[in-house]
A = this chain, B = another copy of it.
């Protein structure tokens, strides 16, 4: 028997990783990487920073060249080659050389699909006009950057409100362009809970980006040269010299589908823990595959470079006769949005509810370092746990301070199915340049535990707002100082400063619901405990209070 023939289709993250790992596992294998693109092994996630010119040279996004693969790893790379069909019976594939238009059959012993994902562009009149782009690889980033550098753009439209849309909006600011973002929903980052998402949205707006929510493009109009000039939406007509469609992506599965490879309920390729498809000796890795959400145990499609790299490694091991497994994902996500970082891991509250969990959540703002240490900044931590068991289900964290560290710790905690109480005992690192003696995560875990144990009663700003809109009968009590109250407060608030609350509590009606609030939630919490001590039974504090209140206040 000669050396094993391994063919990998797709050569960005997971494909190149599979090939490189297979080479380390099996020095003798014949390994071929095939891609339709001219570039391989590039950092697609870096393209927004190339557009903004934080990264000057597109070549610095390329990690490895075909030449490196050939010379250093003895891996044959076929760029600008399209695989047109897989023949599982004969164990070969039909490959067309896009440069010569010739085609040939290539035999394999093991085949790995790393076909990735492609932009999803909703059908729309005029969408084929000039200067309407998607951003999905280095080539598309170069096209966008070239338009931005060639002419002064007055009006840019971004369709979609996911993290790519936000990264592009920020990139455009580097060119002095205040972009218009058009979203169908009521807030950006639709997989994040509304309360946190609205706070991020306020930050994006404060930076000068126009966000048009509950809207949708119905037509793109072009000028005489065929370039986009206007965007007509359900609600308005906006001028546009450039449009970026960040309307999502879809897994690239047509090749797999045509070969009889099973597709999962998410629309991506179904694989087992070993990343094997339903067809023997055919594996699939990266953005084209469906995986398991480790909190719910259900199939999800969350294509990310981290997963692609991990899966590539596993694919490489397994096609060489090893046995490695991919347990699934936590759906960990992070994005820099101007001065804020926004991150999530596990389930959002709405996802937890949708998955049948009985949920308790808290929103707890804290400084990321001690107040006295220079550069200390706020972050807002939302923790979501299962009622009863107290087992953590997820977290959302946002703000100017250090977010990534805390979300990674929660992701690690979710792996162990720990409770809020267990998280509160974590031995996290502390010195003033890095954290507080009580890390924001420990503080949030303690607040969540208090809520789970019924020691405190609290309510989110979002639900408080809904109660105000429904004109529910309750007292909204501002416990800040008179000076703070006079500078701005929620319309309809009663005002009693915390230090007068004990003496003046007699003036409050014990039969009515009371919701206390302050600046960040601390005094509001103290006030609600004080009122409970005074015999008030239906009293809650507003979590995060005005800091987490995403709506207008009265001045």
Instruction: Please list the residues of chain A having a beta carbon within 8 angstroms of any beta carbon in chain B.
Output: 13, 24, 27, 43, 45-46, 49, 54-55, 60-61, 71-72, 163, 294, 304-310, 313, 326-327, 329-336, 341, 343, 345, 370-374, 402, 404-405, 407-409, 411-413, 415-416, 418, 422, 424-435, 437-439, 442, 446, 455, 498-499, 526, 529, 533
Contacts and interface: CB of A to CB of B under 8 A. Distances in A.
Nearest to A453: B322
Contact of A427 (B345, B425, B430, B431): B345
Nearest to A330: B427
Contacts of A429: 332-334, 343, 345, 404, 407-408, 411
A529 B23 CA distance: 10
A297 B251 CA distance: 48
A13 B430 CA distance: 14
Nearest to A525: B24
B370 A46 contact: yes
B310 A45 contact: no
Query: Most chain-B CB neighbours within 10 Å: which of A24, A422, A446?
Result: A24
Nearest to A163: B431
Contacts of A49: 372-373, 432
Contact of A372 (B61, B72, B305, B332): B61
A434 B397 CA distance: 14
Contacts of A306: 427-428, 430, 437-439, 442
Contacts of A404: 405, 429, 434-435
A19 B415 CA distance: 35
Contacts of A416: 412, 415-416, 418
B407 A437 contact: no
B437 A13 contact: yes
A372 B427 contact: no
A438 B332 contact: no
Contacts of A61: 372
A79 to B, nearest CB: 21
A432 B304 CA distance: 12
What are the 5 closest A-B residue pairs judged by CB atoms, nearest first? Answer: A416-B416, A412-B412, A334-B429, A405-B405, A305-B437
Given A43-B370, A55-B372, A61-B372, 7 more contacts: A49-B372, A60-B372, A404-B405, A404-B429, A411-B426, A415-B416, A415-B422
B372 A43 contact: yes
Nearest to A346: B427
Query: Most chain-B CB neighbours within 10 Å: which of A332, A402, A404?
Result: A404
B432 A46 contact: yes
A313 B447 CA distance: 12
B424 A533 contact: no
Contact of A309 (B24, B327, B422, B438): B438
B45 A430 contact: yes
A426 B415 CA distance: 8
Contacts of A345: 427, 429
Nearest to A62: B372
Contact of A313 (B411, B422, B446): B446
Contacts of A305: 430, 437
A330 B412 CA distance: 15
Contacts of A425: 310, 326-327
13 contacts: A27-B529, A43-B372, A43-B437, A46-B370, A163-B431, A305-B430, A305-B437, A310-B424, A333-B429, A334-B429, A334-B434, A336-B431, A408-B429
Contacts of A304: 430
Contacts of A46: 370, 372-373, 432
Contacts of A13: 437
A434 B435 CA distance: 17
Contacts of A45: 430-432, 437
A88 B44 CA distance: 68
A405 B434 CA distance: 9
A326 B439 CA distance: 17
A415 B434 CA distance: 21
Nearest to A502: B74
Contacts of A422: 415
A329 B412 contact: no
Given A27-B533, A49-B373, A405-B404, A434 B341 contact: yes
A279 to B, nearest CB: 25
Contacts of A163: 431
Query: Most chain-B CB neighbours within 10 Å: which of A334, A404, A409, A412?
Result: A412
